[in-house]
């Protein structure tokens, strides 16, 4: 099991955080739709998923342990995995060189293997749950 110090914890997450709904409403158009779609996949991972805004973007947690987030930029959306470096990515979707985090960059008109991205999100959820989320 990974040391607890390597799990990013956010006490106070909610089942449905009104701040995230406001964030989604503030990000309309194609990028907002992309962010909404993938955050819904995160929400659907389990009954123990909690959410909050962290650094201004929607973040999904297993209990209080962050496993994924979405963030919209000028021309793309990142679907980020807090422990993405530790999970298998057989389709090569993940980008980044950080010690722990990885992300998938999505943009309108740029195809993505939806099944593979869903599997990455579900794997990140299961991985964090196994690592001792509380």
pLDDT of 30-86, one tens digit each? 999 999 999 999 999 999 999 999 999 999 999 999 999 999 999 999 999 999 999
Q: Is the pLDDT of residue 1 over 70?
A: no
Rounded CA-CA distance 122/94 in Å is 14
Instruction: For Cα atoms 8, 11, 15, give the angle at the middle one, nearest 5 degrees.
Output: 110
Q: Express as a percent the part of the chain with pLDDT over 90.
A: 87
End-to-end CA distance of the chain: 14
pLDDT-based confidence at 134, cuts 50/70/90?
low
């Amino acid at each position: 099991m990974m040391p607890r110090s390597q799990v990013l914890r956010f006490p106070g997450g909610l089942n449905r955080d009104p701040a995230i709904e406001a964030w989604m409403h503030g990000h309309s158009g194609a990028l907002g739709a992309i962010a909404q779609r993938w955050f819904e996949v995160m929400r659907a991972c389990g009954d123990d998923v909690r959410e909050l805004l962290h650094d201004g973007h929607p973040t999904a947690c297993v209990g209080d342990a962050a496993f994924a987030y979405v963030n919209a930029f000028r021309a793309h959306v990142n679907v980020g995995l807090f422990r993405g470096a530790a999970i298998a990515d057989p389709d090569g979707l993940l980008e980044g060189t950080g010690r722990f985090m990885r992300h998938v960059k999505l943009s309108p008109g740029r195809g993505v293997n939806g099944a593979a991205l869903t599997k990455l999100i579900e794997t990140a959820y299961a991985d964090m749950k196994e690592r001792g989320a509380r």
